[in-house]
Amino acid sequence: MSTYSLDARRLLCPMPVIKAQNRVAELHPGDILEVICTDPGARNDIPAWCRINGHRVLEIREQDRDIIVLLEVGHDD
């Protein structure tokens, strides 16, 4: 299991979702991906995308203007 980070700042939805989707496709089940966004839409869209594609959101937190979504890659994609 490894942890990775993806900078999706200044991208507007759905681009953070697309970037996360494409990055997850390269990772393995159990890997952790930290997605750093600035678009508030990502707060809803990335979890929605995770739910329908079998990944798990571990944490969503805000840090200054950034929204950080921590997700665990599932076995289903």
Partner 1 sequence: MSKIQRKAVALISGGLDSMLAVRVIQDQGIHVEGINFYTGFCVEGHTHAIRRHDRDKKKRNNALWVAEQLGIKLHIIDVIEEYKDVLLTPKHGYGANLNPCLDCKSFMVGKAVAWMQEKNFDFIITGEVLGQRPMSQRRDTLPVVARESGAHDLLLRPLCAKLMPPTTPELEGWVDRERLHGFNGRSRKPQIALARHYNIEEYAQPAGGCCFLTDASYSHKLTDLWQARQHRDYELDDIMLLKVGRHIRPNPDFKLIIGREEGENNFLEGYRYRFTYLRPSDCNGALVLVDGKPSELDLNLAARITARFCKNRDLSRVKISVTPLGEATRELEVEPLAPENIPGTWYL
**Complex with partner 1: residue 55 or 72, whichever CB lies closer:** 55
Please report, as residue ranges, which positions from 23 to 62 form the binding site for partner 1 (by CB under 8 A). 39-41, 43-45, 48-49, 51-53
| Per-residue buried b or exposed e for 20-32, using 16+ beta carbons within 10 Å of the residue's own CB | bbebbeebeeebb
State yes or no: is 50 an active-site residue: no
Return the closest-CA partner of residue 18 out of 29, 28, 39, 31: 39
Size of the site for partner 1 (CB under 8 A): 20
Does residue 4 bind partner 1 (CB under 8 A)?
Answer: no
Rounded CA separation 56/65 (Å): 23
State the residues that interact with partner 1 by CB under 8 A. Answer: 10, 12-15, 17-18, 21, 39-41, 43-45, 48-49, 51-53, 77
The set of catalytic residues is 13
